[in-house]
């Protein structure tokens, strides 16, 4: 056992004296030490219940013969951080979470780990740590929020952001907005649509790192407490069998995750996080694989913001395993992959019934024959950009219009709410990438403003930043190379015509190569927006979005 390095032998007597100071008994020190990584805090709605989940995990570990020991991980609420300088501090926490978890696990020589995340960067950050550490590990999340209900209809956080745009357009009263404000987010949990947090928790099941229901059982259900106890018990089995994250997170497992991603219509942020997790696992995946998988994977779910169903509905319909079983009817999954259940993917999903074909479309009757995410390339994004195809209205799958260019999110929002953006425009927001932001802010405010102003079916938005999973419409992000390094998006001028063809995976600026070369020759990099602290250090180390925005190793 790794923990023998801190619990056994004469040289470890000083270590044991410190465990004694913790009130730990000899009996506890003779059992495997199981680290429980708790992302509990009192600022993120998706994390306020995690203390209960952690208590259940501890009980499960103890019942199965381990000694549970809790230590923390940070987490940012992307919704609260949205639309101001705080959003620069969202993506960057992914690496802080991975690094700090590595430090705690190695310093204290835990034998195995139970990760208890929930929201956007917490899940991929801990998956990155799991792959890096490669000790037996299982995930159990805090669970999704129940949908809100306004005027008899289910709703969620994305509707709340769009209500602000509707108010600016004069189509919603102050009283209407206040009703949404009071009812859109009615419980604890990760926000109730297929946004980034729920996308990544569902993909944790698809990767094989979480038990069935990890992505979908609502936070307020007692069933989630039972799931946490089972996760605590299961980690002891994984330790006994020495099943480790890199045994589970193989290239085939990432293939499965991308396939499920396409079927569910997950957040485009998954196209940042899956490559970053794979990188830590020693697996090379590139975004071209995404289009190859999308071409043969039907989109089976239209959860909010793409449609009017929510995580609670997916749970009742059979959850992620039911989606996977539908996909397996077409032989789209690698079923021999081992998982944290100790069984293979094929064994896990066998007999998992689709209980509601309105929530999970049968594979014979999908929303579309192709997946929910598309990767585009062209002279505007030579290294790729990403769009959530399943959340784009049909008339915007192909679009051509004049560029309206902004060098920061705030200027774009002011123009949208000021009525300066009209049907047909292509809003370009640049210098918001991993380096240029720094931190690659999400653009939920401008996309919601466009939708709220009634322009969602006529205006596209392109950025080297990224989008919340709550964004909908022709919202094209992760443009690479980014503006801060002189990518073509930095060379776009007001009024240039931009052509978008999502079905054909293309995005082009209709400007001659000669003109682009002349503009490039005149381009000068901008002064960094942040010159001190963690963000400055992050900007100096971060790679491009098409590489998962991982940090360079020196």
468 labelled catalytic: yes
Give whole-number Cα distances, 300 to 6, 254, 260, 366, 421, in Å.
Answer: 50, 19, 10, 5, 34
Residue 473: CB partners within 8 Å, gap ≥ 6? 391, 392, 393, 396, 447, 450, 451, 456, 457, 459, 460, 461
Cβ–Cβ under 8 Å, residues 82 and 91 = no
Residue 324's Cα: distance from chain center in Å?
19
Q: If you search the block for the tokens 């101001």, which residue do you land on?
A: 84
Angle of CA points 66, 70, 72, to nearest 5°: 150
Angle at 263 between CA 262 and CA 265, to 5 degrees: 65
> Of these residues, 90, 156, 159, 468, which one is catalytic?
468
In the DSSP assignment, the letter for residue 483 is: G
Residue with tokens 């946004």: 195
50: tokens are 């995690």
In the chain, how long is the greatest CA-to-CA distance? Answer: 76
DSSP state of 85: G
Sign (positive/negative) of CA torsion 187, 189, 193, 196? positive
Query: Contact at 8 Å (CB) between 445 and 427?
Result: no
The DSSP element (H or E) to which 70 belongs, if any, is strand 67-72
189: region left, alpha or beta (phi > 0 left; psi from -120 to 50 alpha):
left
The answer to whether the CB of 435 falls within 8 A of the CB of 465 is no
Q: Residue 452 in contact with residue 165, Cβ under 8 Å?
A: yes
Which candidate, 343, 90, 116, places its Cα nearest to that of 208?
343
CB-CB contact of 378 with 508 (8 Å): yes
C-alpha to C-alpha distance for 342 and 243, rounded to whole angstroms: 8
Dist. CA 356–CA 127, nearest whole Å: 31
- What's 150's DSSP letter? E
Q: Which two tokens stand for residue 117?
A: 């995340």
Token pair of 211 as six digits: 């038990």
208-229 as b/e: b if 16+ CB within 10 A? bbbbbbbbbbbbbbeebbebbb
List residues with catalytic annotation. 468
């Amino acid at each position: 056992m790794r923990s023998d390095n801190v619990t056994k032998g004469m040289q470890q007597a000083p270590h044991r004296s410190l465990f004694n100071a913790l009130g730990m008994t000899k009996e506890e020190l003779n059992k495997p030490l199981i680290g429980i990584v708790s992302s509990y805090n009192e600022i993120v709605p998706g994390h306020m219940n995690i203390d209960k989940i952690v208590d259940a995990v501890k009980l499960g570990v103890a019942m199965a013969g381990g000694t549970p020991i809790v230590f923390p991980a940070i987490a940012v609420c992307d919704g609260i951080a949205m639309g101001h300088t705080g959003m620069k501090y969202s993506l960057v926490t992914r690496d802080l979470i991975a690094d700090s978890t590595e430090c705690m696990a190695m310093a204290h020589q835990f034998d195995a780990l139970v990760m208890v995340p929930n929201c956007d960067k917490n899940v991929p950050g801990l998956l990155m740590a799991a792959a890096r550490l490669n000790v037996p590990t299982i995930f159990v999340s805090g669970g999704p929020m129940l949908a809100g209900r306004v005027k008899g209809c289910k709703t969620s956080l994305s509707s709340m952001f769009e209500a602000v745009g509707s108010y600016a357009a004069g189509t919603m009263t102050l009283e209407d907005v206040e009703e949404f404000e009071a009812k859109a987010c009615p419980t604890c949990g990760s926000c109730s649509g297929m946004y980034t947090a729920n996308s990544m928790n569902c993909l944790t099941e698809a990767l094989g790192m979480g038990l069935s229901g990890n992505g979908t059982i609502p936070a307020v259900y007692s069933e989630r407490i039972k799931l946490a106890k089972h996760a605590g018990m299961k980690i002891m089995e994984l330790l006994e069998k020495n099943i480790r994250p890199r045994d589970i997170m193989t290239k085939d497992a990432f293939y499965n995750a991308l396939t499920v991603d396409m079927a569910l219509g997950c957040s485009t942020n998954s196209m940042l996080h899956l490559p970053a997790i794979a990188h830590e696992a020693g697996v090379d995946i590139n975004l071209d694989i995404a289009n190859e998988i999308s071409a043969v994977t039907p989109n089976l779910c239209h959860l909010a913001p793409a449609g009017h169903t929510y995580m609670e509905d997916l749970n009742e319909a059979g959850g992620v395993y039911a989606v996977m079983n539908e996909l397996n009817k077409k032989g789209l999954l690698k079923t021999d992959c081992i998982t944290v259940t100790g069984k293979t993917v094929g064994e896990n999903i066998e007999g998992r019934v689709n209980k509601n074909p309105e929530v999970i479309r049968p594979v014979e009757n999908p929303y579309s024959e192709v997946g929910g995410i598309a990767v585009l390339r062209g002279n505007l994004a030579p290294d790729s950009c990403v769009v959530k195809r399943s959340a784009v209205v049909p008339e915007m799958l192909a679009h051509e219009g004049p560029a309206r260019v902004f060098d920061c999110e705030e200027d774009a929002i002011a123009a949208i709410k000021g009525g300066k953006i009209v049907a047909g425009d292509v809003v370009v927001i640049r210098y918001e990438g991993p380096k240029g932001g720094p931190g690659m802010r999400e653009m939920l405010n401008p996309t919601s403003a466009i939708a709220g102003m009634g322009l969602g079916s006529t205006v596209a938005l392109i950025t080297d930043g990224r989008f919340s999973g709550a964004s909908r419409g022709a919202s094209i992000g992760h443009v690479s190379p980014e503006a801060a390094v002189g990518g073509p998006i930095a060379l776009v001028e007001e009024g240039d015509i931009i052509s978008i063809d999502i079905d054909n995976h293309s995005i082009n600026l209709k400007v001659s190569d000669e003109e682009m070369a002349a503009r490039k020759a005149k381009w000068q990099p901008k002064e960094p927006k942040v010159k001190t602290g963690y963000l400055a250090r992050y900007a100096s180390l971060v790679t491009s979005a098409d590489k998962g925005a991982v940090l360079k190793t020196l």
